[in-house]
Amino acid sequence: MTRAPLAPASLAVFAALASACVGSGVPDPKAAADAYARAAAKGDADAIYSMMTSRAQASRSRDDVRAIVKDERAELSDEAKGLGAKDARVEATARLRFADGEEAALDLANGAFAVTSAGALPGGARTPEEALDQLRRVLARRSYAGLMRVLSPATRASIEQDLRALVTGLDHPETLPLTLAGDAATIAVPGGHHVRLKRENGVWRVDDFD
């Protein structure tokens, strides 16, 4: 059976973040990284397990971690040396999930956490999965402003240009050519756009536009 490897840096940082939620100050995540390095160098599976978050512990039992540490002793020793290097740098990130399902991401810098992204303020996604999650959230909120923030600059500029052209073309709707067919109407808008209207119960509504 193939075992999923441990994620040493994540374990160390998650342990630091878990303790950062209590107490009067924010602990240095480097201390947690150093503690992990010592445990990894010794092959101390119990110490490594104790540094894992409750969520990580729920996915792997203590015996699972012991087996993984036993199989990966040489690799853990190399990682411990890397964590102890002078140029090693620890980055800490926290995620706060609210009761309504929204989530905020915070990065630790200069001893304090700063918001890098929040539900209404999408930030720079570090992975494709994060970008897709941000897209899902802004679409679920029907947030046009949020949608514009998660699009690439080129796509955002293209959409905004099309919308500006549509707005300008609709400045004088009474002058636009209209093709009427019963309860449906099509209007040609300057700039190559078209608006399709539909009448239901005596009320005209926009059915589609491009």
Domain that holds residue 140: 93-150
Is the pLDDT reported for residue 145 higher than 50?
Answer: yes
Which is it for the CA torsion 133, 136, 141, 147, positive or negative? positive
What is the per-residue pLDDT for 8?
44
What is the per-residue pLDDT for 135?
75
126 lies in the same domain as 193: no
Under DSSP, is residue 96 helix (H, G, I), strand (E, B) or coil? strand
Is residue 17 in some structural domain?
Answer: yes
Is the pLDDT reported for residue 2 higher than 50?
Answer: no
Extract the runs of DSSP E, i.e. beta strands, from the chain. Answer: 93-97, 103-109, 112-117, 178-181, 184-189, 193-200, 203-209
Is the pLDDT reported for residue 134 higher than 80?
Answer: no
What is the per-residue pLDDT for 115?
63
- Is the entire prediction scored with pTM above 0.85? no
DSSP, res 55: H
Is the pLDDT reported for residue 1 higher than 50?
Answer: no
Identify the residue whose tokens are 């004088």: 172
Is residue 200 in some structural domain?
Answer: yes
What is the per-residue pLDDT for 154?
87
Residues 124-135 have a mean pLDDT of 70
What is the per-residue pLDDT for 90?
65
Under 8 Å between Cβ of 184 and 200? no
Retrieve residue 195's tokens: 């608006």
83 lies in the same domain as 104: no
Confidence of residue 172 (pLDDT cuts 50, 70, 90): confident
pLDDT digit string, tens, across residues 53-110 = 888 888 888 998 888 888 888 888 877 777 767 766 667 777 766 665 566 667 766 6
Total number of domains constituting the chain: 3
72 lies in the same domain as 105: no
Is the pLDDT reported for residue 122 higher than 60?
Answer: no
How many contiguous H segments (helices) and E segments (strands) does the chain have? 9, 7
What is the per-residue pLDDT for 161?
87
83 lies in the same domain as 116: no
Residues contacting residue 78 through CB under 8 Å, at least 6 positions apart: none
Give the angle subtended at the CA of 116 by the CAs of 114 and 120, to the nearest 5°. 115
What is the per-residue pLDDT for 152?
82
Retrieve residue 162's tokens: 């099309």
Confidence of residue 210 (pLDDT cuts 50, 70, 90): confident
Is residue 62 in some structural domain?
Answer: yes
Is residue 161 in some structural domain?
Answer: no
Instruction: Specify the higher pLDDT residue, 182 or 150.
Output: 182
Confidence of residue 12 (pLDDT cuts 50, 70, 90): very low
The 8 Å CB, 24+ separation contacts for 48-57 are: 48/6, 48/11, 51/11, 51/12, 51/14, 51/15, 52/11, 52/14, 52/15, 53/14, 53/15, 53/18, 56/11, 56/14
63 lies in the same domain as 103: no
Under 8 Å between Cβ of 184 and 198? yes
